Structure 1
Amino acid sequence: MPLNCIAPKPENQGNIPMEGLSRTSESDNSAVLAYPMQTNSQSILQHTLFSINLKFEEVVYKVKLEQKGFCWGAWSTRDKTILNGITGMVCPGEILAMLGPSGSGKTTLLTALGGRLNGKLSGKITYNGQPFSGAVKRRTGFVAQDDVLYPHLTVTETLLFTALLRLPKSLARNEKAQHVERVISELGLTRCRNSMIGGPLFRGISGGEKKRVSIGQEMLINPSLLLLDEPTSGLDSTTAQRILTTIKRLASGGRTVVTTIHQPSSRLYHMFDKVILLSEGCPIYNGPASTAMEYFSSVGFSTCMTVNPADLLLDLANGISPDSKQAAEQSENMEQEQKSVREALISAYEKNISTRLKAELCSVDVNNYNYTKDGRARNNFKADQWCTSWWHQFMVLLQRGLRERRYEAFNRLRIFQVISVAVLGGLLWWHTPTSHIEDRIALLFFFSVFWGFYPLYNAVFTFPQERRMLIKERSSGMYRLSSYFLARTFGDLPLELALPTAFVIIIYWMGGLKPDPITFILSLLVVLYNVLVSQSLGLAIGAILMDIKQATTLASVTTLVFLIAGGYYVQQIPPFIVWLKYLSYSYYCYKLLLGIQYSEDDYYECSKGVFCRVVDFPAVKSVGLNHLWIDVCIMALMLVGYRLVAYLALHRVQLR
């Protein structure tokens, strides 16, 4: 079972073999991916045409498990080994398949190879003799088992925005669009190209089509290293065959491909070059797929029936010996036999494969890598840099955000909710006389409360809902966090400010507030200002907790405190807790609205024929009408501070 890598031919460095990749036959149903390799005498994906030899040695991964002790109900921790000393190598042009039952560690190993695993990982994983880096990350395509896609984008939009972010800036937009068209055609997505992806609340494309879109996102960059987690799960046999055929052709062009697969058909199994078989985190086979049956026969596990090799391998990984008479055995004896089969296979692996594999890996180090004078492997990767500029990332993310949230922000339910509250409030406060100062002040406080809490609860969901997408895209090196955050911030402005504007226009004039255009405009600006501050706090809470239930609970407590301390319900707050109102943006908004609507020289009819100063009214006197610019500055500090906290909290999100 030779495992040495064959070094790529010099003429293929930087150029994909044209045969079989540059042309597709209309009658070919295998969906060969035809990359446009020459555009204006330039390789369209020149930066990705780079061979990667992936090697991993003695990879061990452990996690801490908490368990309740018997003494006083104390909790204790213990280490559980997920991966136990896995060694292997995959070279350009090869497909390595990792097989094993559920829980055997396949996905964990794949995540480790993609540089996305956090925790207690030991061992050595190298790419052309070098550790994982940003340059490797941007040459790596990672297709997760779960399809993480924006539900309101169409298939074409999803792939186009991915191409704009991940393909090099040297390519024009129309060249990237042409590349997207080819991927859509070759993955069989033409029929659903203009259909929305869909989500749990509305129907979109099928599960198999979503899987092909996820694979297409990674195929766009023509990756040097392609990692796929269960790429055929949920697909019918024909579609799975098309996907694997496409992946096989990618590998034949010099790509390094690693995939996990649960139970492949015999047709799919024979497309693999190498196989690693895992059983409870331990390797029991590592070698060519074609010799797996022969190896297990040589160690005493043969079968007289003609079976799918993958079925036999999975039975062995589960500890089930072929042709065993399981029906006559009791469950206890069966568990013992499975344990003994696993131990025998692990022992055979250590004796027959492990030592020879390590020796071959050492020989690859000597033969295939160039070394500098001080003995270190020469770094073949370019400097760590982003594929696109910060401004380009910002503009693309802004466009994508507006496309995605066009239905989310202006759905009929939200519009009905806001407009109905505005109309109902306008009817309740219909043309309130100036003498009814209590009602007019209550209306101003309602402005500050409603648009202090409504945006907050909407913003709380933002980052927890996008966490998986953020992790996926940033793990691929698609964009900077700062460009994403600012694009999200600016993209929300027109969508989040339109509804409060309509709300104020309706209820202000129906409520009979001061009929002065300047006063109306200033009141509207204060409400919009309050919306931005409230939204900032919601973003910060969501980013810190990254859990919708916890975030909404904290938001409820916060809004309740701000409501009580807002200066309307409790006007004489005890001195030891008076500081609470200075934390409430609703308090500052309420004070600014009062300062715009009234001045110290205004009077109201406090009783028949008697006029009193507005500033002496208890609800106004408790907050005052002076130092309004200080309140504006304090709200500005809140707006910037909350968003800065949200940004820093997003930095703590683990990319895994």
Structure 2
Amino acid sequence: MADSCYLIEEVAGNKTLIDLAWNDIKCSVKTKQGTKQILKGVTGHALHGEFLVIMGSSGAGKTTLLNILSNRLQNSKKVAITGEVLANSSPISDIFYTNYIGYVTQEDTLIETMTVYECLMFVARLKTTYINKKAKVLELINLLKLDNCKNSYIGGPYMKGISGGEKKRTSIGIELITNPSVLFLDEPTSGLDSYTAMIVCKLLLSEANSGKTIISTIHQPGSEIFHLFDKLMLMCDGQIVYHGLAKNSLNFFAQCGLACPEHSNPADYFMEVLYLANSNELSKEELKRVEMLAEANKKIQKNEPMLTVPLNIDEKVYKSGFFTQLYYLLGRSVMRMIRNPILSVVRIALLAVIALMVLFFYYNMGQTGIQDMMNRNGLIFFNVACLVFCNILACVLTFPTMRPIMIKEYQSNTYGVVPYFLAQCITDVFADLIQTLSYVSIIYWAVNFNTTSFKVVVEYYIMVYLEFYIGGSLGMLTGCVFDKPELALASTSGLLFPFMYFAGFYRSGNLPKAFKWMEYTSPFFYVFQGCMKNQYEDFKITDCYVNPIGQKLDCDPLDNFDIHLSVHFNMMILALLIVFYRTLAFIAMKVMCKHLKNG
């Protein structure tokens, strides 16, 4: 337990000691079925130097309480919270609370292509002021017992990586590297075997002994782990039914007529006692048991000495500069693209398949006959559709996987939205440039595209590059708006098929006036116009069919498809559309982060 001797400002290892107290916390959420009360007047505390574990039945309000204490859940249109949370007697809304806390989520939000060492160094560079950051990271890796895997990839569905326990310790290390005064953890042992769970809990106990305040929800720990806990808080139906020393909990339940059977795991027994068949509608027996335990708990509560030293309300959260954030985010983004098989190998393979199809069906096209003209027109539109779709699919399928990582790091004040967004855009610039150079260089001369001048070739490279980038921009937009890849894919398909129809290839010139304006909203329209103008402006089809009365048919594809916009004008419009789509994506990302930060 924490020392009861308090100074005006008590600091251990450059860490401000913090005691938390919360009084009469109530929380209700609006649902389709009506308003549901999650917390019903919860009062408690957590002292520095202690390891407080929150346990309870499903739906008891454990995670909700944890999110309120860490200020991650706040009042909003759907959530109503009353009561107060105090840090050393100061309301957490009056101080730079995020400067003092760390939060380990239940899911390990780590980038699969980074190593353990790289994950910790990334946070150390952006959130700490250590002179020798590398030494500090290596010291923490040793503490976490991660030496054997420090240079191994985190891993995921598409690449082999470290074990679940090692991922969890890495997630804890990311929070510990900033040396927080208070550390919150949401079920850090879930999914781990008993031995690994023991390692994690011993680590948390060690951190508590160093002066930190550790608050964690844990789901059904083993008996050996249970006896490591300092303090225990049991919750049921949004109420606290026990809050005190873990070692005294068995005696408390025995006095309430609920003695734990000999040789049983106390944690398992408590979950059995607190189990509710239907948390929305308690039976009379369940309601009576919960009320009895809650009243008994109130009787044993006592006021413990708490730190009352005020925290500095003017203290600012350390945050690296804009260009530092951009530099390291850009480096991480490039590294992720190179190492991730979905972002690199699969995308390149998809482009290679498209290039092979083009070479097989359109190799060495003629330049004189009307059949050659039709083949050329089809290839131009095939390129437009395939290349845009190729980049959209790549972004839609990969961006949502980064979404939870970005949200967690943003909530932890690791970096801002602007540098993260710019890093993604800059990475796309160079990735799309490499793909453009590769693809066009493979097919352009092989299919006998227009080579009348160097200017024509360069313009086609630029048009294809804009195709790629506008596809990535649309993919980023839908990825920012929708958090699930399947929703993003469905919305993208619903958006792109009308765009394709109004591109001018399937129907042009004779569109009803009521729909004519829709052409100008389609990025495909400007890409198709620009590519057609680029390929046909300097040469004409000469071998035309003659109709029955001896007149030559119109062999000018620019007239046939009503191509009237210049190449440079189409390039300018596409550039403006890219800016427009990326701006919408940024706004969606900013709104998403602001909404989550405000609960």
TM-score (norm 2): 0.89
* 296, 299, 302: which one aligns with 1:348: 296
Per-residue CA deviations over 1:38-68 (Å, capped at 9, x if unaligned) read xxxxxxxx4xx112221111111222332xx
* Aligned match of 2:29: 63
* Aligned match of 1:84: 40
Change (3 A) 1:186 1:432: same
Per-residue CA deviations over 1:82-106 (Å, capped at 9, x if unaligned) read 2211111112212211111232221
- Could you say what secondary structure the match of 1:117 adopts? coil
Work out whether residues 350 and 390 of structure 2, in 8 Å CA contact, stay in contact via their aligned partners in 1.
no
- The separation in 1 between residues aligned to 2:423 and 2:582, in whole angstroms, is 13
- Residue 64 (structure 2) pairs with residue 108 (structure 1): yes
Work out whether residues 615 and 624 of structure 1, in 8 Å CA contact, stay in contact via their aligned partners in 2.
no
- The separation in 2 between residues aligned to 1:640 and 1:57, in whole angstroms, is 49
Per-residue CA deviations over 1:222-243 (Å, capped at 9, x if unaligned) read 1111011122223333333332
* Cα shift at 1:616: 6.9
* 390, 397, 407: which one aligns with 1:461: 397
* Aligned match of 2:117: 156
Q: What is the one-letter code of the residue matched to 2:275?
A: N
- The separation in 1 between residues aligned to 2:379 and 2:261, in whole angstroms, is 85
Change (3 A) 1:639 1:632: same
* 483, 486, 489: which one aligns with 2:419: 483
- The separation in 2 between residues aligned to 1:260 and 1:50, in whole angstroms, is 23
- Could you say what secondary structure the match of 2:215 adopts? strand
Change (3 A) 1:388 1:439: same
Q: What is the one-letter code of the residue matched to 2:71?
A: G
* Cα shift at 1:347: 3.0
Which region of structure 1 is more displaced relative to structure 2, 491-500 or 175-184? 491-500
- The separation in 1 between residues aligned to 2:71 and 2:366, in whole angstroms, is 67
- The separation in 2 between residues aligned to 1:212 and 1:443, in whole angstroms, is 53
- Could you say what secondary structure the match of 2:109 adopts? coil
Which region of structure 1 is more displaced relative to structure 2, 458-467 or 220-229? 458-467
* Cα shift at 1:289: 2.1
Change (3 A) 1:462 1:235: closer
- The separation in 1 between residues aligned to 2:81 and 2:100, in whole angstroms, is 23
Over aligned residues, Cα RMSD in angstroms? Answer: 2.9
- Pairwise mapping of residues 172-571 of structure 1 onto structure 2 (< 5 A)? 172=131, 175-303=132-260, 305=262, 307-318=264-275, 337-350=285-298, 352-353=299-300, 360=303, 368-369=307-308, 378-406=310-338, 407-408=340-341, 411-435=344-368, 436-515=372-451, 516-571=453-508
- Could you say what secondary structure the match of 1:57 adopts? strand
- The separation in 2 between residues aligned to 1:225 and 1:304, in whole angstroms, is 35
Work out whether residues 104 and 184 of structure 2, in 8 Å CA contact, stay in contact via their aligned partners in 1.
yes
Work out whether residues 567 and 619 of structure 1, in 8 Å CA contact, stay in contact via their aligned partners in 2.
no
- The separation in 1 between residues aligned to 2:545 and 2:291, in whole angstroms, is 98
Work out whether residues 540 and 556 of structure 2, in 8 Å CA contact, stay in contact via their aligned partners in 1.
no
Change (3 A) 1:269 1:382: farther
* Aligned match of 1:74: none
Work out whether residues 432 and 465 of structure 2, in 8 Å CA contact, stay in contact via their aligned partners in 1.
no
* Cα shift at 1:277: 0.8
* Aligned match of 1:131: 92
Change (3 A) 1:623 1:613: farther
- Could you say what secondary structure the match of 2:106 adopts? coil
Change (3 A) 1:586 1:615: farther
* Cα shift at 1:304: 6.5
- The separation in 2 between residues aligned to 1:308 and 1:418, in whole angstroms, is 58
Change (3 A) 1:510 1:4: closer
- Could you say what secondary structure the match of 1:450 adopts? helix
Change (3 A) 1:641 1:565: same
- The separation in 2 between residues aligned to 1:133 and 1:475, in whole angstroms, is 18
Which region of structure 1 is more displaced relative to structure 2, 54-63 or 127-136? 127-136
* Cα shift at 1:312: 4.0
Change (3 A) 1:561 1:614: farther
- Could you say what secondary structure the match of 1:607 adopts? coil
* Cα shift at 1:11: 8.2
Change (3 A) 1:429 1:306: closer
- Could you say what secondary structure the match of 2:460 adopts? helix
Change (3 A) 1:58 1:530: same
- The separation in 1 between residues aligned to 2:73 and 2:9, in whole angstroms, is 36
Q: What is the one-letter code of the residue matched to 2:86?
A: T
Number of equivalences: 577
* 544, 563, 575: which one aligns with 1:624: 563
TM-score (norm 1): 0.81
Q: What is the one-letter code of the residue matched to 1:231?
A: P
* Cα shift at 1:133: 6.7
* Cα shift at 1:337: 4.2
5+ unaligned residues in a row in structure 1: which ranges? 17-45, 67-76, 321-333, 371-377
- Name the % identity: 30
- The separation in 1 between residues aligned to 2:539 and 2:276, in whole angstroms, is 88
Change (3 A) 1:559 1:620: farther
Change (3 A) 1:335 1:412: same
- Residue 572 (structure 2) pairs with residue 640 (structure 1): no
* Cα shift at 1:427: 2.9
* 524, 528, 536: which one aligns with 1:598: 536
* Cα shift at 1:530: 2.0
* Cα shift at 1:511: 0.9
* Cα shift at 1:625: 4.4
- Could you say what secondary structure the match of 1:222 adopts? coil
- Could you say what secondary structure the match of 1:97 adopts? strand
- The separation in 2 between residues aligned to 1:134 and 1:593, in whole angstroms, is 58
* Cα shift at 1:643: 0.7
Change (3 A) 1:181 1:637: same
